[in-house]
Amino acid sequence: MRFVPTHCITTGMKLGENLYNERGDLMLSRNEIITQDYMASIQRLQYNGLYIDDEISNDLEVINLINNEVKIETIKIIKNTFIQCEQKNKRKNNGIIKKDMKLLRMQIENIVDEIFNKKELMVNMVDMKVFDDYTYYHSVNVAVLSIVMGISLGMDRKDLNSLGLSALLHDMGKVFIQKQILNKPGKLSDDEFQEMKKHSQLGYEYIKSSFGIANIVYMGILDHHERYDGTGYPNNIKGCRISIFGRIIAVADVYDALTSDRPYRKGMLPSEAIEYIMGSVATAFDPEIVETFVRKIAPYPIGTCVKLSNGLEGIVMENYEEYSMRPKIRIFADNGKKLDEPYELLLFEKTYLNITVVDII
């Protein structure tokens, strides 16, 4: 299968992955043919792109780190937790239902188990994001990316469960921020930004006062906007004074935000977001964490259509942790002309070639 941006999807294409609607219900199954009716739903949901299967990509398999059902279920639980918290906050009743926290913990344990069993894998899948419910999708993505880094850093299951929970709840404080600031489509004014910045402290205080969970979990929530050079918030702490969870969640948070479409900008490609994160080493992020991150996240995920600086075009087949910028590519075309015999090219042997992501070949 290969990833195709939504504006290049046409009727008759065969779906390479299950597709879910905004409620998390299965809308279209893998292998179904996209019809005009489905096109309308895909556009309405504002998917950034879809995996499709065709004759040049049907032998390419992408293994997702967590299966879609687990992901959708977690999104539903975190959404419910946020809504409960919001309603109770309106009634000035501090404390969300303990049942939600129990469910979240169980869900995180499942996710940690699943990722742990695939720990040799890189994150090789473009996330099929829907535009709505950004906060909840984002929370789950940040948890998955944080757990991947935690495993790479050698954390044990207990710490991974705590890290996952901290990441899942990192933006919970946003329920205390006014909706018009939270959902403002444009740039925030200075005053609005000061207000928005309170969410990490508010989330920390709320969760700490409501639940008996490990201190290390709260610290990740409190520190996720601290910067390695001490210019972050709320406490302007720097380096290793920032909790390890805070330093990990900071990288996952920025990566997922950059690769998501927002009301005011298109999401970046994984390769562009990784460049941005590498450019912020030691200012925003801990160098050791970034090193771990770039080894595990494929800048050009399997199934990405690319064009090389010598005019060759193809699809990414495989990625290597040590050479994540230099994947293996199956070449199908040369300067727009289809080749009779496709062939494979190992880019770490051709370091002089630059890669550009293209919509489709």
**Contact residues: Fe ion, CB under 5 A:** 171
DSSP conformation class of 81: H
111 or 196: CB nearest Fe ion: 196
Query: For residue 11, how many other CB atoms are within 10 A of its CB?
Result: 11
2 or 225: CB nearest Fe ion: 225
Give first-to-last CA distance, the chain, whole Å.
Answer: 13
**Sole residue written with tokens 């994540």:** 324
CA-nearest of 177, 181, 111 to 146 is 111
DSSP conformation class of 305: E
Amino acid code (one letter) for 213: I
The minimum distance between CB 240 and Fe ion, in angstroms, equals 21
Altogether, the residues listed in the chain come to a count of 361
193 or 343: CB nearest Fe ion: 193
Paired residues of 308 in beta bridges: 355
Q: What's the CA dihedral at 242, 243, 245, 251 to 10 degrees?
A: 10
249 or 316: CB nearest Fe ion: 249
Position with the least CB separation from Fe ion? 171
5 or 234: CB nearest Fe ion: 234
The minimum distance between CB 203 and Fe ion, in angstroms, equals 8
DSSP H stretches of helix in 183-341: 190-196, 199-210, 215-223, 244-258, 270-279, 287-296
41 or 135: CB nearest Fe ion: 135
171 or 256: CB nearest Fe ion: 171
CA-nearest of 295, 301, 294, 257 to 279 is 294
The minimum distance between CB 90 and Fe ion, in angstroms, equals 22
Is-contact 250 284, C-beta < 8 A? yes
The minimum distance between CB 11 and Fe ion, in angstroms, equals 40
Indicate the SS3 state at residue 28: strand
- Positive or negative: CA dihedral 177, 180, 185, 187: negative
The minimum distance between CB 196 and Fe ion, in angstroms, equals 9
The minimum distance between CB 142 and Fe ion, in angstroms, equals 9
The minimum distance between CB 200 and Fe ion, in angstroms, equals 6
14 or 79: CB nearest Fe ion: 79
The minimum distance between CB 291 and Fe ion, in angstroms, equals 23
Structure token digits, residue 328: 């293996």
* DSSP state letters, 155-170: --HHHHHHHHHHHHTT
The minimum distance between CB 42 and Fe ion, in angstroms, equals 30
53 or 171: CB nearest Fe ion: 171
Residues 6+ apart with CB under 8 A from 37: none
